[in-house]
């Protein structure tokens, strides 16, 4: 079912990074175990080969994803209101041009996220987007470009499905690219991929 403009706006806002992010509900990797907007809880395991990062680390300090909504009362907007469409277009333009964190360029990193396949060859996935919350680019509009990583694995990946939760490790580069699923601000050469499992508490 197509989301209305106002619902889309609220879905986007509820999934933005912040101190009160929602955690994944399931213990495995099945997409059915997550709800739209769910984020993954990361572990604190250290790795000598890769620096583990969080999605908030990809956002430069001082950048405000809510700047496009300043002065706008979202609770009063209706689908028929031209201001709703204008706000959505303004937000989309700002988010597609979202700045990236230059200090991460060339860093070997490890990050957990959800898979959005881009290019397939039979059962193999050749390229995919990694996104911070369940449903991004599929059930709700894409997040800001600095919250989308374009992953190119060293080898084609089999057995991976849309919205699977994965750990991805590799070298991160600043590289903005437009895809049919969203604009990414980063590209990562996928050197190691592993199914995500919820950290033990």
**Dihedral sign for Cα atoms in the order 45, 46, 47, 50:** positive
Distance CA(135)–CA(139), nearest Å, equals 5
Residues of the chain with pLDDT under 70: 1-32, 42-48, 74, 200-201
Q: Where are the domains of the chain?
A: 21-60+99-195
Tens-place pLDDT, residues 23-77: 333 334 456 677 887 787 766 555 568 999 999 999 999 999 888 777 777 677 7
- What is the DSSP-derived secondary structure letter of residue 121? E
Instruction: Specify burial of residue 10 (Cβ count, 10 A radius: 0-12, 13-18, 19+).
Output: middle
Distance CA(159)–CA(29), nearest Å, equals 12
Phi-psi region of 106 (alpha: psi -120 to 50; beta: other; left: phi over 0): left
Is there a contact between 195 and 29 (Cβ–Cβ < 8 Å)?
yes
What is the pLDDT, as a whole number, of residue 60? 97
- Taking the domain 21-60+99-195, which CATH number applies? 2.40.50.870
Helix, strand, coil content of the chain in percent (nearest 5)? 20, 30, 45
What is the pLDDT, as a whole number, of residue 74? 67
């Amino acid at each position: 079912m197509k989301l209305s403009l106002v619902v889309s706006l609220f879905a986007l806002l509820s999934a933005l990074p912040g101190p009160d992010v929602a955690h994944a509900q399931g213990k495995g990797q099945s997409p059915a175990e997550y709800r739209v907007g769910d984020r993954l809880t990361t572990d604190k395991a250290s790795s000598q080969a890769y620096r583990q990062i969080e999605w908030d680390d990809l956002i430069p300090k001082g950048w405000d994803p809510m700047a496009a909504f300043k002065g706008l009362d979202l609770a009063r907007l209706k689908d028929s209101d031209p201001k709703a469409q204008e706000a959505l277009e303004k937000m989309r333009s700002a988010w597609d041009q979202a700045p990236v964190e230059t200090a991460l360029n060339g860093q070997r990193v490890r990050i957990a996220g959800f898979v959005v396949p881009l290019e397939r060859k039979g059962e193999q996935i050749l390229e995919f987007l990694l996104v911070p919350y369940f449903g991004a680019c599929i059930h709700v509009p894409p997040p800001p470009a600095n919250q989308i990583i374009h992953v190119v694995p060293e080898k084609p990946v089999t057995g991976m499905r849309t919205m699977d939760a994965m750990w991805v490790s590799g070298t991160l580069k600043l590289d903005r690219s437009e895809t049919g699923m969203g604009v990414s601000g980063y590209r990562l050469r996928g050197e190691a991929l592993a199914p995500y499992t919820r950290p033990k508490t």
